[in-house]
């Protein structure tokens, strides 16, 4: 098990979501075997103010877990694993890489990363793919999280930063429109920043479920809008129509700071209140009162995955931005627009090279100047760098076809990816699957080689929060014997593959290289270092050399060359605004539980969290349950052409009668992504996670 480095407390941040709540880890001297080696306490910090959620409070339990991997594992012919030396394991990986590339070319080897990796590891992984492997085939699980919001932000603002302002700015808001995010369950300390708006009856929550966050609007705290799944785009167009029709648009702001307004004005003219109400199910009077409320003095519009994880997610996020721009909110003191990043380093993880088309600093890999700059830092010829690769769903679709070897870091794709059975089948066709993890996840269990890596309390590094604030992760414990950092693993593999460039294993040195590579880019970290961050500086990017950082973007100009924001006219696909019943099918939406996180690799191994949520439950409306003959707690089958899930039913009026809900944290026959489709947004390549057609039956009646 991990052992204390010293008795001094270490100030760090939670290993889970992008709120990155501050905590202090105090090591226990000579902990008994199997006991938690550190004590977790919340630390005063602007995002969490000393509070933590259940996941944060229990995070240290995993450090002493008996399920921890502490030696490399090699798959045997009979499907079992045996422990191996690091030398032998890494030689096996290098041989698999060489064999695939010698027979099939550089792109026969692919890399799949994760939004929980530190900036240093995400950067080094992207560099390793392009320089050591020479492959274009790299993407990461953040494609399933932030890609639609990122695409919309880039085309509207020329910059993608989740919140372009500190989260504490929300404290004084009169009105907050929150679309598609159940923050009360996903990042509970965040709800403290909603209290000001709630006290002024100004919290407006858009969600087809009466979620824990939607319930915050009750007792005079605000308004819950409950549209049909997949109709958020129509709702936003209808609200924008009302703002314009009632003379609430900020015409001076639009003239001075934006372009494209006329096209948007014409496009929303078709979304009069009655049509919007008929499409979404939201009453006209609520549409009107919401539009008028949004024209107040201190207003914020925030989006989350519920409106973005669709095949029209980029357009829906764009419609939310258009509404914010028409109201003149973006860059205005005391108001704004933002999107809530989900994974712990979802922001930093997409800035420095894990995405299929990006280089460090949020540079495009297609840009010759960007390629030249980064290649000069790496000491390689720009022409040696591959071009843009494939986004996650397309990349996973190549497994067993043109991709013969896959390296997975910080992701559990057989639980988290859409059409999970197809992904599992692709993994089975690989010649070599290598997984780095701290537990034998469902994906690791399928691997040929499993490499045990450090957990958050055992490593140094940096994370970038949902505010675009770069934070220090500090080590409190030595890793167990036999466990290694990904930086060391990548360095050793680079050596075996005779890769050019340098491959430091020291996080501070890797960060310094990252800073140089990002210089001049959109996400410029060049003025930062571990030493500077250790002084406690507030480090919001861009943070070029000589600057004091940028806590608030867009006060004077946007990221486009002319300094203006772009309004982009968007319209729904008519097929997606059809909410009529289709032969008894229901619409499945997926989401999270308070006590679980992502694919559950970590949280399903924490006793307190697993006891609280030991299984997936299907939420279904009482009228629908009665029609189908389903009672509370009954086991049901939920299915479509892609597969069947079994779960117990929770009969609740908190969900629409035409909608059912499943959490996505569970594996096996409870895996919600057995049902979701590998259809993607044409701009962002985000999968359709929030609108899946399913049938529901009492278990045992599948063939009826």
Question: Which spans in 327-472 are helix H?
Answer: 346-349, 368-378, 392-397, 413-416, 420-428
β pairing state of 617-620 and 687-688? unpaired
Alpha carbon distances (Å) from 415 to 247, 325, 412, 444, 604 = 48, 38, 6, 11, 13
Q: Which residues of 607-625 are buried (b: 16+ CB within 10 A; e: fewer)?
A: eebeeebeebbbbbbeebb
Q: Give me the CATH code for the 147-339 domain, please.
A: 3.40.228.10
Whether 110 and 408 have beta carbons less than 8 Å apart is answered as no
Whether 362 and 160 have beta carbons less than 8 Å apart is answered as yes
Contacts 24+ apart (CB under 8 A), 537-542: 538/469, 539/469, 539/470, 539/471, 540/166, 540/467, 540/468, 540/469, 540/470, 541/161, 541/351, 541/464, 541/468, 541/470
Q: Is the bond preceding 308 in cis, omega lying within 30 degrees of 0?
A: no
The Cα 22–Cα 323 span in angstroms is 33
Name 478's bridge partners.
Answer: 3
Integer-rounded Cα radius of gyration of the chain: 24
Helix (H, G, I), strand (E, B) or coil at 620: strand
Whether 153 and 401 have beta carbons less than 8 Å apart is answered as no
Answer positive or negative: Cα dihedral of 645, 651, 655, 656.
positive
Q: Which CATH architecture has domain 3-64?
A: Single Sheet (2.20)
Give every residue of the chain whose pLDDT is below 70, as ranges.
Answer: 1-7, 576-583, 700-704
Token output for 698: 């009492």
Do 3-64 and 147-339 have matching folds?
no
Token output for 155: 């085309």
* pLDDT value of residue 700: 64
Helix (H) or strand (E) holding 645, with range, is strand 643-651
* pLDDT value of residue 703: 44
The Cα 317–Cα 303 span in angstroms is 7
Q: Crossing angle, helix 273-280 and helix 284-294, to 10 degrees?
A: 110
* pLDDT value of residue 7: 62
The Cα 700–Cα 704 span in angstroms is 9
β pairing state of 10-13 and 22-27? antiparallel
Task: Provide the residue ranges of all domains of the chain, joining segments of one domain with +.
Answer: 3-64, 73-143+345-459+482-503, 147-339, 578-698
703 Cβ neighbours under 8 A, 6+ residues apart:
none
* pLDDT value of residue 702: 47
Q: Which CATH architecture has domain 578-698?
A: Beta Barrel (2.40)
Q: Give me the CATH code for the 73-143+345-459+482-503 domain, please.
A: 3.40.50.740
* pLDDT value of residue 2: 55
* pLDDT value of residue 704: 37
Helix (H) or strand (E) holding 9, with range, is none
């Amino acid at each position: 098990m991990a052992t204390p480095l010293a008795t001094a407390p270490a100030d760090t941040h939670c290993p889970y979501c992008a709120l990155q709540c501050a905590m202090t880890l105090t090591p226990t001297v000579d902990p008994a075997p199997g006991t938690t080696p550190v004590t977790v306490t919340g630390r005063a910090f602007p995002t969490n103010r000393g509070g933590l959620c259940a996941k944060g409070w229990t995070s240290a339990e995993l450090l002493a877990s008996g399920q921890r991997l502490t030696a490399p594992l090699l798959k045997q012919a009979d499907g079992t694993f045996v422990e191996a030396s690091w030398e032998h394991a890494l030689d096996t990986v290098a041989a698999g890489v060489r064999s695939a590339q010698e027979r099939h070319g550089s792109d026969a080897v692919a890399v799949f990363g994760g939004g929980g990796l530190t900036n240093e590891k995400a950067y080094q992984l992207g560099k390793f793919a392009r320089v050591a492997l020479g492959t274009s085939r790299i993407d990461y699980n953040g494609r399933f999280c932030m890609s639609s919001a990122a695409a919309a932000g880039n085309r509207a603002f020329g910059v993608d930063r989740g919140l372009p302002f500190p989260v504490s700015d929300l404290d004084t808001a009169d009105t907050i429109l929150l679309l598609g995010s159940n923050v009360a369950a996903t990042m509970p300390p965040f709800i403290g920043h909603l209290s000001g708006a709630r006290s002024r009856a100004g919290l407006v929550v858009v969600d087809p479920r009466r979620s824990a966050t939607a319930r915050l609007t009750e007792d005079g705290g605000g308004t819950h809008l409950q549209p049909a799944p997949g109709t958020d785009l129509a709702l936003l167009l209808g609200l924008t129509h009302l703002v314009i029709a009632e003379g609430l648009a900020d015409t001076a702001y639009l003239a001075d700071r934006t372009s494209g307004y006329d096209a948007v004005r014409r496009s929303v003219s078709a979304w009069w209140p009655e049509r919007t109400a008929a499409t979404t199910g939201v009453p006209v009077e609520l549409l009107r009162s919401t539009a008028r409320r949004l024209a107040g003095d201190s207003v914020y519009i925030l989006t989350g995955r519920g409106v973005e994880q669709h095949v029209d997610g980029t357009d829906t996020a764009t419609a939310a931005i258009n509404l914010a721009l028409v109201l003149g909110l973006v860059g205005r003191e005391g108001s704004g627009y933002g999107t809530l990043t989900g994974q712990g380093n979802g922001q930093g993880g997409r800035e420095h090279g894990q995405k299929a088309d990006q280089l460090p600093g949020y540079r495009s890999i297609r840009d010759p100047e960007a390629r030249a700059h980064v290649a000069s830092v790496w000491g390689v010829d720009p022409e040696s760098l591959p071009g843009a690769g494939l986004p996650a769903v397309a990349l996973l679709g190549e497994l067993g076809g043109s991709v013969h070897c896959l390296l997975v870091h910080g992701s559990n794709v057989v639980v988290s990816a859409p059409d999970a059975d197809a992904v599992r089948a692709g993994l089975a066709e690989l010649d070599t699957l290598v997984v780095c993890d701290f537990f034998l996840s469902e994906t690791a269990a399928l691997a040929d080689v499993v490499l045990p890596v450090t957990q958050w309390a055992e490593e140094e590094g940096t994370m970038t929060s949902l505010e675009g604030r770069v934070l220090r992760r500090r080590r409190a414990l030595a890793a167990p014997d036999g466990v290694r950092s990904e930086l060391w693993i990548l360095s050793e593999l680079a050596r075996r593959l005779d890769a050019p460039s340098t491959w430091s294993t020291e996080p501070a040195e890797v960060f310094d290289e990252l800073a140089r590579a990002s210089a001049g880019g959109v996400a410029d970290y060049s003025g930062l270092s571990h030493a500077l961050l250790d002084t406690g500086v507030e480090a919001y990017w861009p943070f070029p050399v000589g600057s004091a950082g940028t806590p608030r973007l867009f006060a004077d100009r946007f990221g486009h060359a002319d300094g203006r924001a772009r309004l982009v006219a968007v319209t729904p696909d008519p097929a997606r605004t059809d909410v009529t019943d289709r032969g008894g099918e229901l619409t499945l939406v997926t989401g999270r539980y308070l006590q679980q996180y992502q694919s559950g690799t970590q949280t399903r191994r924490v006793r307190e969290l697993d006891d609280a949520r030991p299984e997936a439950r299907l939420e279904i409306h009482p009228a629908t349950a009665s029609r189908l003959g389903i009672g509370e707690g009954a086991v049901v089958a939920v299915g479509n052409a892609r597969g069947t899930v079994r779960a117990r039913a929770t009969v609740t009026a908190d969900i629409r009668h035409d909608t059912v809900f499943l959490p996505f944290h569970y594996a096996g026959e409870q895996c919600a992504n057995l049902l979701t489709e590998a259809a993607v947004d044409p701009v962002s390549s985000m999968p359709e996670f929030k609108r899946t057609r399913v049938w529901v039956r009492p278990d045992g009646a599948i063939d009826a």
